[in-house]
Amino acid sequence: CYPSFATSNGFIQCLTEHIPSELIFTPGSINFTTMLVSTSKNSNFLTNTTVKPICIVTVKDASHVQAAVVCGRWNGVRLRVRSGGHDYEGLSYRSARAEVFAVVDLANLHTIAVCVPTATAWVDSGATIGQLYHAVAKTSPELGFPAGECPTIGVGGHFRGGGIGMMMRQYGLAVDHIVDAKMVDANGEILDRATMGEDLFWAIRGGAGESFGVVLSWKVKLVKVPSTVTMFRVTRTVEQGAVDIVTKWQDVGPTLPWDMNMMVRVQRQQAMFQALYLGRCDAILPTITSRLPELNATRSDCEEMTWLEAMAVIGNGNTNTTALLDRNVGFNSFFKVKSDYVRRAIDKGVWHKIFNTWFTMNATGWVMLEPHGGVMGTIPTEATPYPHRSGVLYIIQYIVGWSDDDGSASAARNWINNFYDFMAPYVTTSPREAYVNFRDLDIGQNTVVVNDVSTFDSCKMWGEKYFGGNFQRLAMVKGKVDPTDYFWNEQSIPPLLFHA
Ligand code: FDA
């Protein structure tokens, strides 16, 4: 049983025999807190009461990861792996229960090697997606990669859950483009696609990858991007017809040409439409004005630029592409996120209520609506663990933030929880789908643990929300590769074991 016989002294002794001591940070080390907070984004989990690791290992090569796994298993200390630290519930560096665990931090593993003739790249898990975009576009401006919008997200954590972003209607998710990977499994062995086999390779591409091992690097297929793309941004208030426009957008967004992605941010009394078109403004403006005339879009709402500049604008709000390399830009704050999927457009009356109720309160956050459709609707549900494909109109991300010192936390939490409850009749049901990369422990946790192994039945509640019918296959893969549930967290895949 991991927590009860865990020996932290034995573990750390074992680590120091295999890993240079300057890469190991224990709570007694001067730089322990600096290391702990170094890439962590959510300040909720950096408080005095947070259950913290007994050490952080800032690995520099694959052998260090292997040593951490072997020492961990030998001494009964579980590992959590951190790439970019953006986990919404902080599960890469904290535990929600009293537990002896260590963190393997991959931030030092960030090599990116782009191969133009094959339009592929090997990228280490500790690189950020901004660094990946930059490396790809600087090597060949005709190539890009379809992944998320925030440049500081770590590749390792992003790929473990899917990777939705502004090119997904044309090219799908980040995980749809992974063609090989190198990982360390629960036995400390290094595997690649050929040696891990197709089941495990399927599972690590979006199926809560931390449940299966530590992925060191990924080989991805790059995609073609034109030399000029168009960013389109327009904001409309409720007085300017935001309710009508958002209502209509629900049908228009998912059915626009595939090379156009128009997302919406609803906040207070405004809807902000932001689109990326893989071409010039003149080629898409007539489509926008005819499909969504209520927006009153004009040429001045378009801005033409390179694909890399567009990634910088989407991520940081300006065309400074060098900032994509900086893993420290962006916010660090207290926040909570939830997600939903919509398969049937929500009535105008409901949108009216949403604007009038949830966006007129003091403690309000915002929602991001990201359309699916395009190629997303053509990829079979079981192609990867991400099941939210055909028939999905859009994903909703609810976000609320607060500061620590003004007592606004409970009002903010109430806002998001009550808003989420209000939305239940209008979003998917049975299961109420959720996106695993927008991690939300409220939808369920691995609470029933027998002999230190999570039970399949007790995890179904949250597992099917994230993975639909793919959850059982993930649990079967877990049963084969990590039957003792070494790679465990509050929402790791439970092993499903079949005895002859
Ligand atoms: P972190 O290091 O915290 O890891 C997250 C999870 O993955 C943890 O469980 C961790 O153990 C596991 N993990 C990390 N590296 C691993 C590895 N090498 N092998 C196995 N498991 C590993 N998502 C999206 O799809 N599109 C978007 O546009 C955005 N935008 C966005 C903005 C902001 C500000 C945040 C905070 C988050 C997002 N996300 C997102 C969500 C993001 O994709 C998600 O949180 C990722 O898991 C973050 O990956 P990191 O490596 O940064 O996190």
- C-alpha 289/C-alpha 300 separation (Å) is 13
106 lines ligand 1 (CB under 6 A): yes
Closest to 209 in 3D by CA, of 77, 58, 383, 83? 83
85 lines ligand 1 (CB under 6 A): yes
pLDDT per residue as tens digits for the range 383-439: 999 999 999 999 999 999 998 767 788 999 999 999 999 999 999 999 999 999 999
206 lines ligand 1 (CB under 6 A): no
Residue nearest to atom 31 of ligand 1 (CA): 150
By the 10 Å C-beta count (0-12 exposed, 13-18 middle, 19+ buried), 147 is classed as: buried
Residue nearest to atom 33 of ligand 1 (CA): 150
Residue nearest to atom 8 of ligand 1 (CA): 92
| 331 CA closest ligand 1 atom index | 34
Closest to 249 in 3D by CA, of 393, 434, 422? 393
Alpha carbon of 229 to those of 159, 221, 275, 324: distances in Å?
Answer: 25, 20, 10, 18
Angle in degrees, CA 240, 340, 255, rounded to 5: 60
Alpha carbon of 397 to those of 35, 47, 164, 272, 419: distances in Å?
Answer: 29, 25, 12, 14, 12
Give backbone dihedrals phi and psi of 348, rounded to 5 degrees, phi first.
-60, -40
Q: What pLDDT does residue 330 have?
A: 67
Ligand 1, residues 56, 69, 87: which to mutate, most atoms within 8 A of Cβ?
A: 87
Alpha-helical runs (H) found in 364-428: 409-423
Ligand 1, residues 42, 78, 153, 478: which to mutate, most atoms within 8 A of Cβ?
A: 153
| 149 CA closest ligand 1 atom index | 28
437 lines ligand 1 (CB under 6 A): yes
490 lines ligand 1 (CB under 6 A): no
| 93 CA closest ligand 1 atom index | 3
81 lines ligand 1 (CB under 6 A): yes
Judge whether residue 205 has pLDDT over 90.
yes
- C-alpha 147/C-alpha 129 separation (Å) is 7
Contacts for 306 with CB less than 8 Å, ≥ 6 apart: 137, 141, 227, 228, 229
Angle in degrees, CA 301, 305, 309, rounded to 5: 110
| 155 CA closest ligand 1 atom index | 51
Ligand 1, residues 437, 438, 481: which to mutate, most atoms within 8 A of Cβ?
A: 437
pLDDT per residue as tens digits for the range 138-176: 999 999 999 999 999 999 999 999 999 999 999 999 999
Domains of the chain: 2-105 (3.30.43.10), 112-224 (3.30.465.10), 229-305 (3.40.462.20)
Judge whether residue 331 has pLDDT over 70.
no
Between the CA of 56 and the centroid of ligand 1 the distance, in Å, is 18
Judge whether residue 4 has pLDDT over 80.
no
Strand ranges across the sheet with 366-371: 302-305, 229-237, 270-277, 260-267, 366-371, 394-402, 334-342
Q: Which residue has the higher pLDDT, 443 or 49?
A: 443
Across the range 254-262, mean pLDDT stands at: 98
Burial 108-125 (b: 16+ CB within 10 A, else e): ebbebebeeeebbbbbbb
Q: What is the mean pLDDT of the chain?
A: 95
ipTM for the predicted complex comes to 0.99
Between the CA of 124 and the centroid of ligand 1 the distance, in Å, is 14
158 lines ligand 1 (CB under 6 A): yes
- C-alpha 409/C-alpha 415 separation (Å) is 10
